[in-house]
A and B are shown apart, each in its own frame.
Chain A
Amino acid sequence: MLQVNNIEAVYSKIILALKGMSLHVPEGKIVALLGSNGAGKSTTLKAISGLLSGDGGQITDGTIEFEGEKINNITPDIIVRKGIFLCMEGRRVFGDLTVEENLMAGAYTRKNRTTIKDDMEKIYVYFPKLKALQHRKAGFLSGGEQQMLAIGRGIMAKPKLLLLDEPSLGIAPLLVKEIFQNIKQINQEEGTSILVVEQNANVALSIADYGYIMESGRVVMQGNADILLSNEEVREHYLGMGKDGEKNYKENKMYRRRQRLVW
């Protein structure tokens, strides 16, 4: 469905953020994209959605194909119309708009506008907390509620492919589990394909079919989610688990430090 082939992306014409990044999202699947800070995960998602230029970046090499059609260098509004919707990192809800208006903004590109109200009700079924808050300004919502709204906005667009950038950012562990269950549910009930970027590798791989791990602008490891979850290296460096399964942050940190020196 989505095929990213060897793309290279730069910011401000000089900062090389992606160096031959490739990935594939099959129809109807959930794919996780993992990696440490600054690896280029968000850049990958922005490149797919055509949003790089808004941040002073551009794709300099490689292709992005969606349903067999090349989509690099197309403006974001057309990409959304083609069925790709990005929930940006840091939620980015419209603080001055109410919850309901935020959802309406998500539905902006929809052609069939008669079912918008029904779909809004559906969002309130996925995220019952939002129902009571529907007339509240989104800026006054808690971080978790805003995250639900950001995902809800994505569903309102009825995309074929939903890109989620760190939906767990700044959210309590219990709620993270809940939100990821919702994501899984959306995937199953709406048939939406999902590409999710996460720091929290554990929870992301628990709902994903396939996973990619990237470092400094390219993929360094990939595989089925269950295989990645049980892989020694992944457990050690991305899940913060030692060989015997205990948490081992210290070693993890040391490894990171060593890695950074090498780069």
Chain B
Amino acid sequence: MTFFLQMLVTGIVVGSIYGLVALGFVLIYRASGALNLANGEFVIIGPYICLVLMTAYKIPFILSLVITLIFSAILGLVVERLVIRPIQNAPVVSVIMATIGLSSLLGGAVHMLWGHQTRTFPQVFPSTPINFSGLIITPVYLWSFIVVIVLLLLFSLFFKFSKMGIAMRAVADDRQAALSMGISVKFVYAATWAIASVVAAVGGVLLGNINGLSPTMAAIGLTVLPVVILGGLDSVLGAIVGGFIIGILQNMAGGYLDPLIGGGLKEVAPFIVVLLILMLKPYGLFGSRGIERV
């Protein structure tokens, strides 16, 4: 039983991070109809910068994180300005292709700058596990979960009540009508990429603290794909729920099935489940639009 709970808790924590990263993915899809296949690289660049700031420059974690997030926002803006905006009137497939190119470029840069070995973050969170009547949770898991939940809450308030949040939803709903409200669609697109890049970096820093950091972590871009397809590509709520489902499934499969068959199911299980669910609900659990075929 404790093993089950342990797997469940791990699944929930990792799943919440998936949800956060998936949120950035969904925001971009809603704004432009394109899948950002460079999302995985957005996830790893942030933590590398944070790590370098902490180890090479001895900057405390919180300050490093703030600098990292500012950098990530700028990275998002630059990508939007240089890569996406010039082709914004091109077919969606072209935009997706561009993000594939961007993914190789950024991935290559990461390899070049920081090598391919795994690095570990300096101790940020205390290491003594907390014991909740038999259920053992390491502080890094607990803190990650708290950070993600607080961020998701802030985002839902932002989308519900702020002028910019409403404008972003209006653009996703009907671009031309949003223009007629005087909403600057350019500004909204830029803000969307900045936000997506920032949430990816937060997810990356948390995952880096949990598992260590290596370029292969960019594969989370691939893991998040079933998350968003499961939730429905255009649904923010779907991204979060999908994140939890995939996180839990992965850990359950890894904990119970992998020992039986010798491993590998952890990575495959999410895709199998997504296939099954899509047969029943072609637009995902919460989605409303058709899925873009790539």
Contact = CB atoms under 8 A, between A and B. Distances in A.
B38 interface: no
Contact of B174 (A76, A86, A94): A94
Contacts of A97: 166, 169-170, 173
Interface stretch (B67-75, B102-110, B176-184, B251-259): B176-184
- Give the secondary structure class of A's interface: mixed
Contact of A76 (B166, B170, B173, B179): B179
B167 A108 contact: yes
B180 A76 contact: yes
B58 interface: no
Given A54-B179, A105-B181, A96 B163 contact: no
A80 B176 contact: no
A81 B176 CA distance: 17
Given A55-B176, A86-B180, A108 B163 contact: yes
A258 to B, nearest CB: 36
A47 interface: no
A92 B167 contact: no
Q: Which interface residue of B172, B174, B177, B178 has the most chain A CB atoms within 10 A?
A: B177
Interface residues of B, number: 18
A101 interface: yes
B104 to A, nearest CB: 33
Given A88-B176, A92-B176, A104-B163, A157 B169 contact: no
Interface string A138-160: 00000000000000010001000
Contacts of B176: 51, 54-55, 88, 92
B175 interface: yes
Contact of A96 (B167, B169, B184): B169
Contacts, number: 71
Contacts of A75: 184
B182 A81 contact: yes
A51 B166 contact: no
B85 to A, nearest CB: 14
A173 interface: no
A95 B173 contact: yes
Contacts of B179: 51, 54, 76-77
A106 interface: yes
A105 B166 contact: yes
Nearest to A87: B180
Interface string A89-105: 00011111100010011
A108 B183 contact: yes
Contact of B180 (A92, A101, A104): A92
A156 to B, nearest CB: 9
B177 A101 contact: no
Contacts of B182: 76-77, 79-81, 85, 108-109, 157
A104 B167 CA distance: 9
A192 interface: no
Contact of A51 (B172, B180, B184): B180
B177 A88 contact: yes
Contacts of B178: 94, 105
Given A104-B166, A105-B166, A108-B167, A88 B173 contact: no
A162 B172 CA distance: 25
Nearest to B162: A104
Interface string B178-192: 111111100000000
B96 to A, nearest CB: 22
Interface string A164-194: 0000000000000000000000000000000
A49 interface: yes
Contacts of B181: 80, 105-106, 108-109, 153, 157
Interface in A67-81: 75-77, 79-81
Nearest to B182: A80
Contacts of A106: 181
Contacts of A79: 182
A105 B183 contact: yes
Residue among B163, B167, B172, B179 with most chain A CB within 10 A: B179
Contacts of A93: 177
Contact of B170 (A88, A105, A109): A105
Contacts of A101: 166, 169
Contacts of B170: 94, 97, 105
Interface of A: 49, 51, 54-55, 75-77, 79-81, 85-88, 92-97, 101, 104-106, 108-109, 113, 153, 157
Given A77-B179, A77-B183, A94-B178, 15 more contacts: A75-B184, A76-B182, A80-B180, A80-B181, A87-B180, A92-B174, A93-B177, A94-B173, A105-B166, A105-B170, A105-B183, A108-B166, A153-B181, A157-B181, A157-B182
A-B complex: 10 closest residue pairs judged by Cβ atoms: A80-B182, A109-B182, A92-B177, A94-B173, A77-B184, A105-B170, A77-B182, A76-B179, A54-B176, A96-B173
29 contacts: A51-B179, A51-B180, A54-B176, A54-B179, A76-B180, A77-B183, A77-B184, A80-B180, A81-B182, A86-B180, A88-B176, A88-B180, A92-B177, A92-B180, A94-B173, A94-B174, A95-B174, A96-B172, A96-B173, A97-B166, A97-B170, A101-B166, A101-B169, A108-B167, A108-B182, A108-B183, A109-B181, A109-B182, A113-B163
